[in-house]
Each structure stands twice: as structure tokens, then as C-alpha cells.
Structure 1
Amino acid sequence: MAKRALVLVEGNTRGTGRQYVHAAQRLGLHPITLSADPTQYAYLAAESVKSIRVDTNSLDALVRECYQLRASYEIAGITCANEAFYATVAKLCRYFDLPGPNPASIERCCDKFAQRQLLAEAGVPIPTFRVAENAKDVESSAAEIGLPVILKPAVGNGSRGVRLCRNVDELAEHTTYLLGGKQLCSSPRILVEQFAEGPYYSADIMGDEIIGIGAADFGPLPHFVFRETVFPAPLTDDEQKHIADISLRCLRTLGLGWGPTNIEFRWTRVGPLVIEINPRLPGGTGPHMVQLACGVDQITEHIKLVIGEEWDLRKSLSHTAAVRCLLPDRDGILDWIDGDRRAAAVSGVAEVQLYVEPKASIVRKGDHRDGIGHIIAASPSLAQTTTMLQHAAGLIDWSITPFPTINE
């Protein structure tokens, strides 16, 4: 009998890639990663996980590779932990008649401009927005909306290229940066959006069932780098229902509702506005935090759906979990970092992970890559979890020597 394989298209370096591998193995599956460069995922070699080098930007190349795999394996399902390839995964699932999301829905959702157009037409509350393809368009769009505005690429994730522009100088500077091409992938389009001020919330959904709603805050503006996240968010029943109702409207509007979705909000003076809809699980520490809080293993249940098995989203815990991201306050060379073992020994701390080692170069980019580590804690109450997290974070310290200046 052929071994049952779960095909993973690409992975990720800090996020859920390793967790998908482990969850597949626990379900008796053989995870196989298809990647343009498998060496970028250290966990594949460290844990002797099968990987194949293939052009993951080519659907034809992926189809050929899957046909070859079927000579030795039964492909039970195909998925990924990387939003950039989720539409491709959806097409592969259709090609091989495997469970998967609607490719057209995923493509519309991953195009932030198309996503916002559909939401606006359906009357879903979102920030005022415009799309621009050059500096003149950006300037006129910002004038129409009114400063401050958010500038971001129309395609992308992880807050890459997202910045608050508070005046015309910042607007011109970031426009030049985005039009330089490094952040815009294959599309030169820039979204210009109203700055929606207010608390941040995110709804975690599987299918059309809302697992829960989290809250988060960020590091210093003008960037949006997560500093601390809490699940579940301290909301009233009415507030939760309001966000849940809008979330389900988003799913219907975009043709989603198969598999995981993560919807981000800002609760403004006019109520919650939808900031972003991501047709995937939350990245990074999100799934671990949710599991610690309510007992739902989103990754395992997603894989069950992918391979056509029945999932189980019943909650077995009623705790509050929180994550603190360790964010450097300067660029330079990391002299030392310690305290992680002491932090991990604090009661209620579930995980402490450092991403860097001494002598590493620290260059902040204003997005999810800026973190140098994280701490996760959980307990029966928000107050207790917050105290544990603050205590653990206070035990970790580091030193960064700034890079020499030109005049030195």
C-alpha cells in the first residue's frame, strides 16, 4: 500500500511551516515540501523531512512533480503555510480533484485592491481607499482622502511595505521606496488608504465558524510591527457579535468559507472597519496561542480538511494566551542576548524562542521580520497572563552596537 503524503508548497522560516510538518506526521502522513530553495527552511534538513527542488512559481512544474510523486505515494492532500502560493495550491487541488479552496476566490482576496472593491460594493465597512500606479496618482489620492494615509503594495503580506505617511515628505519618501520595485512583486499598484485609528482585532475562522477574536498592539509608528497579541480579546458580547457578523459578510462577499481565514479590524469611532482579509491561518505564533487559549489545533484541523477527513473545532479550554514579540530599538550588531532560559522557567510561560544569535546584523525593515524572538504565556485569566508575560519579558535583555557612521 502506497504511503499517504501531504504535499506542502513552500514553507516559512519563522512561522507555521514546521508546525504543518509535525501535524502531518502526527496524522500518519508523510510531509513532502516542494520549494524553489528547500535550504531556506532549516527545519527540513534538521528533521530529515523530504523536500524537492522545483519552480513553485510554475503551475506546470508543480503538476509534473506531483505526477511523479504519485508513482511512490498516495497524495492525500496539498496545501501550504505561505499565502503567496495559496492560489497556486488551490489550482493544484482542482487539477488533482483534491479538497481545496476556490482558486478565483483566493486570487481576488490576495489582490488587496480587488478585495476592497468587492467589499465596498457589498457595503462592508472599510477605510476609504484609492489605487495608484505612479507618484502623481499617490499624491492626488492622498489629497482626496486627507493625510495621514497608509501606503502599501496592492499585493503582499507580513506588513511588508506598509507605512503611515503623516505629511507630504513622508508620502513622497515612501512612494519612491515602493516604486523602486522591491516591495511591489509583479504589480506596480499602490494602495492609498485612510488611516483607521482605534484598537486592533482579528477574527480567526475555519470554514464559516469563528473560532475566536484576538487583540493586538504594535511597535512605534510609522510602521505596523506586532508587539503584543492577546487571545481571546477582552470584548463584550455585543462587540464580539458585531465583529462576527461583519466577518461572515466578508466570507460571503469574497466567496470564501472553505478552510482558514483571518480577518483584521480596527474599531474606530464609527465602529469596526475591515483592514485586511487573509485566506489562510494567522502566521507566526498565532495558531499556538489559539491552541493554548481554547484547545483548538487549527493546523491539525486544517490538514484534516485538506485530506477529506472530519475536523473538530470544539473548544476544550477557556484560558487567555498572549504573545510578546521582542523588538530591537536600533540597527547594528547584536553583542549579546540572554535571559531566555530564565524567562522560560516563569510559571505559565509556554514558549520562549530567540531568532538571532550574537554577532548577527540587526537591520529593521518595518515589518514582521523585525522581531528577534517571542514569548508565549497562558493562564485562566487575562490579568494573570499579562503579569506572567511582563515578568518573563523583563528577564530577557540584549545589547546592540550601532553600525559605524560614514564619518567614523
Structure 2
Amino acid sequence: MLKRALILVEGHRHNGPLYIQAAKRLGLHPITFSADPSNYDYLASEELEVVRVDTDDLEAIIRECSQLSARYDIGGITGFTGLDESLYVTVAKLCRHFGLPGPNPASIEQCCDKFTQRQRLAETDIPMPVYRLTADATETKEIAAEIGLPVIVKPTIGSGSSGVRLCRNVEEVSEHATNLLSGGHKWQSSPRLLVEEFAPGPSYQSHIMSNQIIGVTGNDFGPPPHFVYREFTYPAMLADQEYKDIADISQNCVRALGLDWGPANIEIRWTKHGPVVIEVNPRLAGEDPHLVQLAHGIDLVNEHIKLVIGEEWNLRRTRSHTAAVRYLVPDRDGILEWIGSDSRAAAVSGVVEVKFYKGPKTPIVRKGDYRDCLGHVIAASPSGARTAAILHDAADLVDWSIAPFPTVSE
């Protein structure tokens, strides 16, 4: 009998190892397909099977899967994304090609294009910021003036807040649009920008699996004009009616987009007019599966894999705690001389994990997105207030030093 395998297309800094571990617990042999496996430290283990393949080439991946089917029973296919979410479209097409459980490729494709997504949501009257599409920097200024400053200017395709900026005047609009359209952003398709009304208010992220609501995370950002996450708290502190409103609008989003299979997360701002939808993502969020497991005992990765391989899954809560993550974000560019005190932070009661992504002598050039983070601290406890205090105390123990880049002497 052939061993059952799970194909993972590309990797993920946070969730990749969780999928590897969960696959093994479920008796599956995880195989990672990657264009550059060196991007993921955890794949360096000799125990893991890795196939180097151009993951932008659907036919190449189909050939590799076909060859593997001589040695393995391929039970399911899923994957991760970086700055280009079109990889999820590839995964959906692979599942369809091999007759495996998976999402509708057309639904994933329209969701990954932020403008098309907005159009579909608008058809069902889901509340959103006013938005316009453009591919011209001059027109961007005109649109911004029409919508009213400040505005958000961002690429129509991408993730991790890459290229997303709050522009407070027409000069910032022009500068950012020109930069994005003239090479300041890596485009996987024709350059197009969304100009959106800025929706001020608390930020939340709801989590759904096949239209079943899991819970809501509270999000906190660093200072504008960028949207670099600083802290996630799960579950968010919400009144019952607020939770219901967010859950209802989230489920309406996935129905409108045809995302009735698999995970999704919906970014929402609670404005003076109530909740408005910022973005729908057809995937699990980065660190949230870990927080959900710590807080409610639900292993989202494990249950997602069960869904992928066609087995019964459930999202039953087994405890009621609060978990939170604080990201360690530098306030300057330069050379990271040292980063430390992780052992002191990890020793704080209630701290679950302290992890650094970058080591000494690493150049730090902030991008204004997820790539700016140096590491994170995660804490959990039965109380929201206690978890917040633990996280604050532990994060304060972590320190680092960034020296200016050396100057070139004449």
C-alpha cells in the first residue's frame, strides 16, 4: 500500500512548521514544493522531503505530482503564499485537476484581486470604504481629491500590507502611486492601484472555515503611514452584539465570494457607522492559528488538513483563555548588532514563545510591511487583562541594537 502524502505548495514562516507537524500526526507524509526552499529555515531538516519546482508554473507542478503518484497516494494539496496570493489559485486548480477536495479556483481568483473582490461584495451591499481603480499616478491624485483625504493607496494584488500606505495629502498620494507604478513594487501582473477611503476605528480579523465562524482577533498597528501589525489578541474583547455583527458580515462576505470551502479571514474596521470590510483573504491568517489553539484549544491547521484530505473535521472549543502576540518592530534602518534577552522573556510565567527572525549583523531596511518584524513574543492565560500584562512585561525584556549603516568615506 502506498504511503499517503500531503503536498504543501511553498512554505510559511509561522504556519509552515505547524502543517508539517500536523500532517505527521495525521499519518501523512508532507512533501513541500518550492521554487526556493532556502526561503524556509524549517525545510533544512533532512527528514523533510522537498521538491524544487517553479511554483508559478502550473503544468510543472502537475508533472511533479504525477511523478510522485507512482510512489505515494496523494491525499491532498494545500499551500501558502508570500506577496502574491495567486498561489492559492494554483493550489485550487491543482485540487480540481487531481479530483481532490479544494476550493473553487474561480472564487479564489476573484478574491485575490482586491478590485474584483470589492465589486463582488458591492453587489450584495456589504459595507466597505469608497474605492476607485487606477493605473495612472496623475489620476490617483484626482481620485483622492474626489474621495476625500486621507486615503489608502495600495496594489490590487498582494498581502502582508506590502505597498499599502495611508496618504494624508496629494503630494503623498502622488509620491506613493508613482513609486508603486514605476518599480517600487513587485508586480505579478499589470500594475493597478486601489485608492480607498480611510476607515478609522478599531481593527478586527474574523476567522472562518467553510462558512463556519471560528472567532475574532483584535489587531493593533504601528504608527502610520504604514500598516505594520504590532499586536494580535484572540479572542477580541467585544460585546455580544458587536461579535454578532462581525460574524454576520463575515459570513455574508464568504457567501458573496463563493468561498464556501476552506479557511478565510476577513479584515474589518469598526467605524462610527459600524463594521466595514477592508479585505477578504481566502486562507488562514499568519499567527492566528497558534493563538486560536492556545485560547480555545482548536487546532485550525489540523482541522484544515482533515478538510483537505476529505476527512471529518470539527471546531469545538475545549477551553476559554486569551492569547496574544507582540511583534518586535525596529524604529530605524541600519545593521542589527545584537538582539537578545529571549531567555529572560521566555521565563516570564504565561509566555508561550519568544522567537527571533533575524540574527546579528543583518541589514535592516524597513519596507513598511510584515517583513519589518524582527521576531515575536506570545503569551496566554485564562484572563485577557492578565495576558496583556504578561505580554507587556515579557516584550519589555527583549532588547536589540541597530547601528547606522557605514558611510562611504571619500
TM-score, length basis structure 2 = 0.97
**Residue pair 2:138, 2:174 contacting (<8 A) in 1 also:** no
Residue 184 (structure 1) aligned with residue 183 (structure 2): no
Cα deviation, residue 173, structure 1: 1.2
Partner of 2:33: 34
Distance 2:332 2:384 in 1: 31
2:234 to 211, 231, 234: 231
Secondary structure of the corresponding residue to residue 71 of structure 1:
coil
| Whole-angstrom distance in 2 between the partners of 1:195 and 1:19 | 35
Query: In structure 2, what is the Cα distance between the partners aligned to 1:53 and 1:272?
Result: 43
In the other structure, the counterpart of 2:273 is: 270
Contact 2:327 2:377 in 1 (8 A): yes
Q: Work out whether residues 154 and 187 of structure 1, in 8 Å CA contact, stay in contact via their aligned partners in 2.
A: no
Task: State the distance in 2 between where 1:38 and 1:240 align.
Answer: 40
Tell me which of 397, 401, 407 is aligned to 1:399.
Answer: 401
Partner SS for 2:361? coil
Corresponding residue number in structure 2 for 1:4: 4
Q: For the residues of structure 1 that align with 2:398 and 2:36, how far apart are their CA atoms? A: 33
1:339 aligns with 2:351: no
Q: Which whole-Å CA distance do the structure 1 matches of 2:369 and 2:186 have between them? A: 12
Structure 1 residue 45 corresponds to structure 2 residue 44: yes
Q: Is residue 2:262 matched to residue 1:259? A: yes
- The separation in 2 between residues aligned to 1:134 and 1:407, in whole angstroms, is 40
Q: Distance in 1 between matches of 2:80 and 2:353?
A: 21
Given that 1:154 and 1:184 are in contact with CA atoms closer than 8 Å, whether structure 2 keeps it comes out as no
Equivalent in 192, 196, 216 of residue 193 of structure 1: 196
* CA shift for structure 1 position 46: 2.4
- Tell me the SS of whatever aligns to 1:257: coil
The alpha carbon displacement at 1:301 in A equals: 0.4
| In 2, Cα distance between equivalents of 1:293 and 1:81 | 24
Report the residue type matching 1:67 in the other structure. Answer: S
Other-structure match for 2:54: 55
The residue aligned with 1:368 is 370
User: Which amino acid in structure 1 is aligned with residue 61 of structure 2?
Assistant: L
Q: How far, CA to CA, are the matches of 1:28 and 1:373 in structure 2?
A: 31
Contact 1:93 1:99 in 2 (8 A): yes
Instruction: Give the alignment of 1:65-144 within 5 angstroms.
Output: 65-82=64-81, 83-144=85-146
Question: 1:205–1:260: 8 Å Cα contact kept in structure 2?
Answer: yes
In 2, Cα distance between equivalents of 1:155 and 1:303: 26
By how many angstroms is 1:140 displaced?
A: 1.5
SS at match of 1:392: helix
Between the aligned partners of 1:16 and 1:34, the Cα distance in structure 2 is 15
Give the AA of the match of 2:251.
L
Q: Measure, in 2, the Cα distance between the counterparts of 1:178 and 1:188.
A: 8
- After superposition, residues 125-164 of structure 1 pair within 5 angstroms as 125-164=127-166
Alignment partners' CA distance in 1, 2:26 and 2:325: 27
User: Residue in 1 aligned with 2:385?
Assistant: 383
Distance 1:406 1:106, change over 3 A: same
- Distance, in Å, in 2 between the alignment partners of 1:135 and 1:238 is 42
In structure 1, the partner of 2:213 is: 210
CA–CA distance in structure 1, aligned partners of residues 38 and 335 of structure 2: 25
8 Å contact kept, 2:86–2:109 = no
Change (3 A) 1:169 1:405: farther
Could you list the runs of 5+ residues in structure 1 that have no partner in the other structure?
Answer: none
Name the % identity.
63
Secondary structure of the 1:180 match is helix
Match of 1:16 in 2: 15
Deviation, 1:160, is 0.4
Aligned-partner SS, 2:215: strand
Contact 1:160 1:183 in 2 (8 A): no
Q: Which moved more, 1:135-144 or 1:118-127?
A: 135-144
Counterpart-to-counterpart distance in 2, 1:407 and 1:225 = 34
Which segments of structure 1 move beyond 3 Å, counting only runs of 4 or more? 404-408
Query: Displacement of 1:61 after TM fit?
Result: 1.0
Partner SS state of residue 207, structure 2: strand
The alpha carbon displacement at 1:224 in A equals 0.2
Tell me how many residue pairs correspond in the alignment: 406
The alpha carbon displacement at 1:252 in A equals 1.1
Partner Cα separation in structure 1 for residue 241 and residue 125 of structure 2? 20
Q: TM-score normalized by structure 1? A: 0.97
C-alpha deviation, 1:220, in angstroms = 1.0
Shift of 1:260: 0.4
Q: Does the C-alpha gap of structure 1 residues 233 and 407 become closer, same or farther in structure 2, counting only changes over 3 Å?
A: farther
SS of equivalent residue, structure 1 residue 44: helix
Q: Distance in 2 between matches of 1:325 and 1:49?
A: 28
Which AA in structure 1 matches 2:37? P
* RMSD between superposed Cα atoms in Å: 1.2
Post-superposition CA distance 1:62-115 (Å, at most 9, x none): 111111000000000000122441111111111110000000000000000000
Counterpart Cα distance in 2 of 1:122 and 1:151 = 24
